[in-house]
């Protein structure tokens, strides 16, 4: 009976996950288009949010050294692996190196610290969090981790064209992903186009404008036509732009709602309206 129960749980999870499209990085790895954001989520609440997300079907978690929650994120992941909800290899984990006062050697140390906190043998993606201080040198620490197979793909975050050009002057391993702030009133068209041209995938962070988009009347009225919420419209807009998106919530109801964005499509006119939204 217990075996049957576990079997049906595994089948349900597999079916839910199969609905989630992914973006193939140039490194060959698949990155699920939706992940759970964890900024400003700590302790029991982030551990539970990660557990809820994995049960709902998320297979991508976004954290960072500076969030101070890698240990609890790792605990949430391992509790669900032990329960049979997923295997490590089914999951895509992103973390980020904090660049202030960092350098090549410190970046590698920070990655080893993240591996320990998350209690995993490899990370799927590590990013330089911001283009601060000597970020090209910090990026070389990520390349060292990549060459040592501690990390499957490496990348950058908050990098605009000039920062990308600067890092590419010395990079031996091209960034696979650039994670930047994208939401309906900040479409980042230019940087997205530049990254696309270079074969760098783009993750849009703060897809709900850190909550500020929830009450937006344009998104709410588009959502009403599809029986969806403003949050679901903002997330779907990123999916339809072939971006990766990482909404954050510690509330199970919202975590589930934010994941239910693969059963509707925005029309071309609706996408145009959202593209033209102003702050
Ligand atoms: N690379 C970077 O520099 C950088 C910077 C910022 C963020 N990020 C990443 O991007 C992730 C997401 O960005 P974010 O944390 O700024 O915020 P966000 O995802 O844009 O919005 C999160 C806020 O919206 C609320 N929310 C979520 N789903 C909702 C729903 N369906 N209905 C109503 N409210 C909802 C959340 O509430 P509750 O939490 O109370 O449930 C929270 O207050 C971060 O967590 C982090 O992983 C990266």
Q: Specify the pLDDT at position 10.
A: 40
Q: From its phi and psi, is residue 119 left (phi > 0), alpha (psi between -120 and 50) or beta?
A: left
Q: If pLDDT is split at 50, 70 and 90, which confidence band does 3 have?
A: very low
What is the 205 CA–ligand 1 centroid distance (Å)? 8
pLDDT greater than 60 at residue 12: no
What is the 181 CA–ligand 1 centroid distance (Å)? 11
Task: Compute how many other C-beta atoms are within 10 angstroms of the C-beta atom of residue 11.
Answer: 10
pLDDT digits over 38-75, tens only?
Answer: 999 999 999 999 999 999 999 999 999 999 999 999 99
Pocket probe for ligand 1: among 99, 247, 252, 257, the residue whose CB has the most ligand atoms within 8 Å is: 247
Work out whether strand 60-62 and strand 36-37 pair parallel, antiparallel, or are unpaired. Answer: parallel
pLDDT digits over 177-186, tens only?
Answer: 999 999 999 9
Q: If pLDDT is split at 50, 70 and 90, which confidence band does 279 have?
A: confident
For the chain, what is the mean pLDDT? Answer: 94
CB 171, CB 147: distance < 8 Å: no
CA distance 256 to 81: 20
Q: Specify the pLDDT at position 39.
A: 98
pLDDT digits over 122-172, tens only?
Answer: 999 999 999 999 999 999 999 999 999 999 999 999 999 999 999 999 999
Q: Which residues are catalytic?
A: 67
Q: How would you class 76 by CB atoms within 10 Å of its CB: exposed for 0-12, middle for 13-18, buried for 19 or more?
A: buried
pLDDT digits over 71-115, tens only?
Answer: 999 999 999 999 999 999 999 999 999 999 999 999 999 999 999
Please, what CATH class does the domain formed by 28-211+237-250 belong to?
alpha beta
Nearest ligand 1 atom to the CA of 247 is 19
Backbone angles phi, psi at 214, to 5 degrees: -60, -40
| Centroid of chain to Cα 230 | 20
Q: If pLDDT is split at 50, 70 and 90, which confidence band does 269 have?
A: very high
Q: Specify the pLDDT at position 97.
A: 98
Residue 258: CB within 6 Å of ligand 1?
yes
Model-wide pTM > 0.85: yes
Edge-to-edge strand order for the sheet containing 123-128?
36-37, 60-62, 92-97, 123-128, 151-157, 177-181, 201-205, 244-245
């Amino acid at each position: 009976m217990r075996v049957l129960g576990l079997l049906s749980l595994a089948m349900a999870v597999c079916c839910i996950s199969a609905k989630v499209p992914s973006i193939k990085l140039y490194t060959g790895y698949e990155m699920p288009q939706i992940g759970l954001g964890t900024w400003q989520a700590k302790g029991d609440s982030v551990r539970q949010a990660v557990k809820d997300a994995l049960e709902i079907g998320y297979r991508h978690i976004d954290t960072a050294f500076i969030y101070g929650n890698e240990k609890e994120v790792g605990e949430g992941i391992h509790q669900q692996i032990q329960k049979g909800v997923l295997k490590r290899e089914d999951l895509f984990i992103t973390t980020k190196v904090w660049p202030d006062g960092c350098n090549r050697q410190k970046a590698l140390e920070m990655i080893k610290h993240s591996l320990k906190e998350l209690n995993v043998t490899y990370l799927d993606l590590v990013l330089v969090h911001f283009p601060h201080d000597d970020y090209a040198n910090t990026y070389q620490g990520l390349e060292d981790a990549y060459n040592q197979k501690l990390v499957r793909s490496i990348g950058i975050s908050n990098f605009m064209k000039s920062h990308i050009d600067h890092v590419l002057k010395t990079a031996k391993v091209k960034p696979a992903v650039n994670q930047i702030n994208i939401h309906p009133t900040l479409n980042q068209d230019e940087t997205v186009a530049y990254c696309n041209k270079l074969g760098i995938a783009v993750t849009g962070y703060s897809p709900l404008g850190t909550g500020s988009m929830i009450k937006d009347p344009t998104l709410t009225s588009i959502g009403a036509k599809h029986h969806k919420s403003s949050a679901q419209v903002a997330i779907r807009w990123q999916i339809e732009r072939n971006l990766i998106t990482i909404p954050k919530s510690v509330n199970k109801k919202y975590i589930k709602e934010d994941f239910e964005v693969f059963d509707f499509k925005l029309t071309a006119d609706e996408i145009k309206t959202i593209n033209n939204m102003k702050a």
